[in-house]
Structure 1
């Protein structure tokens, strides 16, 4: 009797776990726009290579109050802050560098932790892209 009760409870446990697995709608490993990213992969790769070839890698420094990005030349573009643990916290900030070729992004409203900073910009009619992990 105990053996049958044990097997029945184990089978019930397995059935419940399978149902929960199929019912979960949020999966961090599945990207919703993977098709578009696949099509645009060459463009992204070319912009990253352009950054390396022109030695245009920006210098990024981050603290609790602000993120400072220093460019080699005047730049205009978008800085995207992606939180790997929660997509709802992602932010895109359009920018244009100041007279010192710097961009200052306030970071007081951002949660502490790890962020991926993706900078896309145009400088002297060339497109660039740079990615870096930052800790706030």
Structure 2
């Protein structure tokens, strides 16, 4: 079969248009990007406050020590502390967990790993100790 240049041009345009349509359908059916933050405006307003809390950790040398075992995440503070730990899974926001903490006599908190998936997690620790407020962010790998 012999095709002239007009037929080839129409076939090429149809292939290109179908490619664009497939990409558009795929874009609309894809899941939202995990890196996009829905409450970026509120976080922007609170940035100065968070920055001061993080600097307070550096000033007082109050950064908690984190140990990950097969059963729990163990946080060791410099003094008695109470607050909350936000476990953030960067890959899937639905897996995030908020845990209230209160230290024991050795200034430790054990967060059990039951129901927590393996992989990379970001710990956002917000606590009060000796009348001061602190905020620290650390990444851990749960195996």
**TM-score by structure 2 length?**
0.89
Question: What aligned pairs does 1:55-94 form with structure 2 within 5 A after superposition?
Answer: 55-94=61-100
Q: Are the counterparts in 1 of residues 85 and 98 from structure 2 also a CA contact under 8 Å?
A: yes
In the alignment, structure 1 segments of 5+ residues that lack a partner are: none
Q: Offset of 1:13 from its aligned partner?
A: 1.2
State yes or no: 1:101 paired with 2:107. Answer: yes
**TM-score by structure 1 length?**
0.93
The equivalent of 2:3 in structure 1 is: none
| Alpha-carbon distance in structure 2 between the residues aligned to 1:96 and 1:70 | 11
Q: Offset of 1:24 from its aligned partner?
A: 4.4
State yes or no: 1:46 paired with 2:42. Answer: no
The equivalent of 2:127 in structure 1 is: 121
Q: Offset of 1:96 from its aligned partner?
A: 0.6
Structure 1 stretches of 4+ with a deviation exceeding 4 A read 22-25
The match for 1:112 among 111, 118, 129 is 118
Q: Are the counterparts in 2 of residues 66 and 106 from structure 1 also a CA contact under 8 Å?
A: yes
Greater gyration radius? 2
The equivalent of 2:13 in structure 1 is: 7
| Alpha-carbon distance in structure 2 between the residues aligned to 1:43 and 1:97 | 24
